[in-house]
Amino acid sequence: MMEQQAKSKIQMMSGNEACALGAIAAGLRFFAGYPITPSSEIAEELARLLPRIGGSFIQMEDEIASMGAVIGASLAGKKAMTATSGPGFSLKQENIGYAAMAEVPCVIVNVMRGGPSTGLPTLPSQSDVMQARWGTHGDHPIVAVVPNSVRETFDLTVHAFNLAEKFRTPVVILMDEIIGHINEKVSLPEVTEVQVIDRERPNVPIDQFLPYQFTDSLIPPMASFGEGFRFHVTGLCHDETGFPTNNSKEIVKLLTRLNQKLEFHRDEIIQVESNYLEDAQIGIFAYGSASRSAKRAVFLARERGIPVGMLRPRVLWPFPDQEVLALAEQVSHIIVPELNLGQIAQQVEWAGRFKAEVIRVNRIDGEPIRPEDILEQIVAIYQPGN
Partner 1 sequence: MNVYEKYLRKNKFPLIWCAGCGHGIVLKAILRAIDRIGLEKDKVVVVSGIGCSSRAPGYLDFNTLHTTHGRAIAFATGVKIAKPELTVIIITGDGDATAIGGNHYIHAARRNIDLSVIIFNNNIYGMTGGQVSPTTPHGKKASTAPYGSTEHSFNISGLAEAAGASFVARGTAYDAIQLDRMIEKAIRNKGFSVVEAISPCPTAFGRRNRIGNPVELLKWVKDNSVNVNKARQLSPEELEGKIVTGIFMNEQKPEYTEEYAELRRRVGFTG
Return residues touching partner 1 (CB under 8 A).
29-30, 32, 51-54, 56, 58, 60-62, 64-78, 80, 94-95, 98, 224-236, 243-244
Tell me how far apart the terminal alpha carbons of the chain are, to the nearest angstrom. 58
- How far, in Å, CA of 250 to CA of 27, rounded? 35
Closest alpha carbon to 312 in 329, 287, 283: 287
Q: Are strands 315-317 and 143-145 parallel, antiparallel or unpaired?
A: antiparallel
- How far, in Å, CA of 94 to CA of 99, rounded? 9
Of 70 and 359, nearer to partner 1 (C-beta) is 70
Rounded least distance, CB 57 to partner 1, Å: 9
Of 116 and 138, nearer to partner 1 (C-beta) is 138
Residue 367 CB neighbour total at 10 angstroms: 12
- How far, in Å, CA of 177 to CA of 259, rounded? 31
Rounded least distance, CB 381 to partner 1, Å: 48
Rounded least distance, CB 58 to partner 1, Å: 6
Of 225 and 354, nearer to partner 1 (C-beta) is 225
Rounded least distance, CB 76 to partner 1, Å: 4
Of 243 and 354, nearer to partner 1 (C-beta) is 243
Rounded least distance, CB 225 to partner 1, Å: 4
Of 57 and 317, nearer to partner 1 (C-beta) is 57
Rounded least distance, CB 42 to partner 1, Å: 18
Q: What crossing angle do the helices spanning 289-303 and 371-382 adopt, rounded to 10°?
A: 50
Helix (H/G/I), strand (E/B), else coil: 385: coil
- How far, in Å, CA of 237 to CA of 250, rounded? 9
Rounded least distance, CB 46 to partner 1, Å: 13
Of 104 and 145, nearer to partner 1 (C-beta) is 104
Of 55 and 352, nearer to partner 1 (C-beta) is 55
Q: Please, which residues bridge with residue 244 across strands?
A: 238
The answer to whether 42 touches 57, Cβ cutoff 8 Å, is no
Rounded least distance, CB 10 to partner 1, Å: 26
Of 204 and 341, nearer to partner 1 (C-beta) is 204
Q: What secondary structure does DSSP assign to 306-347, as a single string?
A: --EEEEEESEEES--HHHHHHHHHH-SEEEEEESSSSHHHHH
Closest alpha carbon to 194 in 356, 347, 79: 79
Burial of 2 (0-12, 13-18, 19+ CB in 10 A): middle
